[in-house]
Amino acid sequence: MTQSALRHDWTQAEVLALFQQPFNDLLFQAQSVHRQHFDPNRVQVSTLLSIKTGACPEDCKYCPQSGHYNTGLDKEKLMEVQKVLDEAARAKAIGATRFCMGAAWKHPSDKDMPYVLQMVRGVRALGLETCMTLGKLTREQTAALAEAGLDYYNHNLDTSPEFYGNIITTRTYSDRLQTLAYVRDAGMKICSGGILGMGESLQDRAGLLIQLANLPEHPESVPINMLVKVKGTPLAEEQDVDPFDFIRTLAVARIMMPKSHVRLSAGREQMNDQTQALAFFAGANSIFYGDKLLTTANPQADRDMLLFQRLGIKPEEREEHDDEVHQAAIEQALVEQRDSALFVNAAV
């Protein structure tokens, strides 16, 4: 079988043609591409923790953490470093290979960065891959995260450039692309995707995937989220996404970004087992595992493992870090643990 070429020149017409294929033909193509680059019966498992919750100044219309909307969400300060490390250890114990930490910020402040860097080093010392989503970054902050050993930085584009202004007005599309460029320049891996079900058109879904696939390098991880409708947000009454349309988007993402992990992300709580099985067949090979995705519900871990057993799927094995880098992270984390002052809560 000829290997699918990595492309960075997708056009709107080509991507719409993929979406408009008969469903069986599209899934067959996506599964064929998937098998060229991945074990079709392995799924990468991540756990996501909200390390700072609520009171975000951004006005993302889908987000319960935005300070612009009244969703009843309790605001919380940045978590203590040790509590984050305890959660990471628990995540590793139930099978996660990557620990993702999210903070409801427009951007991290100078006073919070030292704590964030300790979290990265500490989680890495546990042998887990590390991922963070902290909002917009400066070049200097990006370099500091890379030096601390951060593996992935998550910064979603959310939707197409054309539809973006209907969802967010407090940060531009170019801001998001700039942060992704800083992350790539610093040598870290990129996690970037979008959300379906915000009122976007098929052209917007195609436009989102084109933006991601036409980056100079494809994101290593591409989360495809289904909108979780939260009362109090402007999108609380949006129409549900047709499950087949959602699966089509996963399949097109797999075809366009053959070597990327395509993550079946937010919205899994609303999906039955059959929809999730179709998602894996369409090329999704990464999930978030645990009870919550930041502030929204996620399928129970035992339900996920039961579904994996029924489908003959196993979690992807942990990618161990280089021994010298891993040992350095352990030693640095131990030094920091001796400074108990660094484990106090940072201010909001």
Has 131 been labeled as part of a binding site? yes
**Catalytic residue chosen out of the listed positions 248, 254, 263, 268:** 263
Contact of 102 with 76, CB cutoff 8 Å: no
**Catalytic residue chosen out of the listed positions 98, 100, 248, 254:** 100
Has 191 been labeled as part of a binding site? yes
**Catalytic residue chosen out of the listed positions 98, 124, 131, 205:** 131
CA distances from 25 to 28, 30, 196, 257, 310 (A): 5, 9, 22, 18, 25
**Catalytic residue chosen out of the listed positions 56, 124, 248, 268:** 56
**Catalytic residue chosen out of the listed positions 171, 176, 191, 205:** 191
Has 303 been labeled as part of a binding site? no
Is 303 known to be catalytic? no
Please state the separation of Cα 138 from the chain's center in Å: 20
Is 263 known to be catalytic? yes
Is 100 known to be catalytic? yes
Dihedral pair phi/psi, residue 55, rounded to 5°: 60, 30
Beta-carbon count within 10 A of 278 CB: 19
Beta-carbon count within 10 A of 292 CB: 14
Contact of 279 with 264, CB cutoff 8 Å: yes
**Catalytic residue chosen out of the listed positions 63, 98, 121, 254:** 63
Is 42 known to be catalytic? no
Has 124 been labeled as part of a binding site? no
Has 90 been labeled as part of a binding site? no
Has 60 been labeled as part of a binding site? yes
CA distances from 163 to 16, 101, 194, 198 (A): 17, 27, 12, 10
What is the rounded distance in angstroms from the CA atom of residue 110 to the CA atom of residue 98?
Answer: 26
Tokens 């599964």, located at residue: 31
Is 60 known to be catalytic? yes
Has 318 been labeled as part of a binding site? no
Just list the catalytic residues.
56, 60, 63, 100, 131, 191, 263
User: Residues annotated in the binding site, as ranges?
Assistant: 56, 60, 63, 100, 131, 191, 263
User: Residues annotated in the binding site for [2Fe-2S] cluster, as ranges?
Assistant: 100, 131, 191, 263
User: Residues annotated in the binding site for [4Fe-4S] cluster, as ranges?
Assistant: 56, 60, 63
